[in-house]
Amino acid sequence: MIGFTVRPEKLCEEEGMKDKVAQSGNKIKVHYVGKLKDGTQFDSSYDRNEPLEFTIGTEELIPGFENACIGMHIGEKKEIELSASEAYGEHSPSLVRKVERHFFPSHIEPELGMQLQLGQNEEAAFVRVVNLDESHVELDANHPLAGKSLFFSIELVAVI
């Protein structure tokens, strides 16, 4: 009896899997870690033990992230930096409003950092309390990562 070992990377090469390149229109799976400029991690698919699955070009994700995946080979890893315009956009002062406290329902005591939903269904807006004093609450409807450069480590796991 002759014994042999099949290495997973060899199997991928033989089946043409390693040669698959992510292109616009492909459904892919990636693992990633997202960090801010100061190194603070804000998200990771590794922490969920589940790769992110999406179709490139359908605008499911921020544009810079989708574009960075184009041309990657299965198993390839890359580090990218996205400017605010490639990610969640610039911080817009027009999305920040100061509201008088008496407009808040009595059962809600606003706290710094609190997230609130205004409205319902398609008209719902999500805001964060970014400042408050005795008479006013300042609400910000910008995405929490708006105006920030983002750094990602990306690994292409599969092209489906």
- Contact between 146 and 88 (Cβ < 8 Å): yes
Angle at 128 between CA 122 and CA 130, to 5 degrees: 150
DSSP-assigned beta bridge partners for residue 118: 125
pLDDT at 152 over 60: yes
What's this model's pTM, rounded to 2 decimal places? 0.79
The Cα diameter of the chain in Å comes to 84
Q: Which residue has the higher pLDDT, 16 or 128?
A: 128
pLDDT digits (tens, 9 = 90+) for 33-88: 999 999 999 999 999 999 999 999 999 999 999 999 999 999 999 999 999 999 99
Domains of the chain, with CATH numbers? 11-89+150-159 (3.10.50.40), 93-140 (2.40.10.330)
Q: Tell me the C-alpha distance between 159 and 26, whole Å.
A: 7
- Contact between 25 and 56 (Cβ < 8 Å): yes
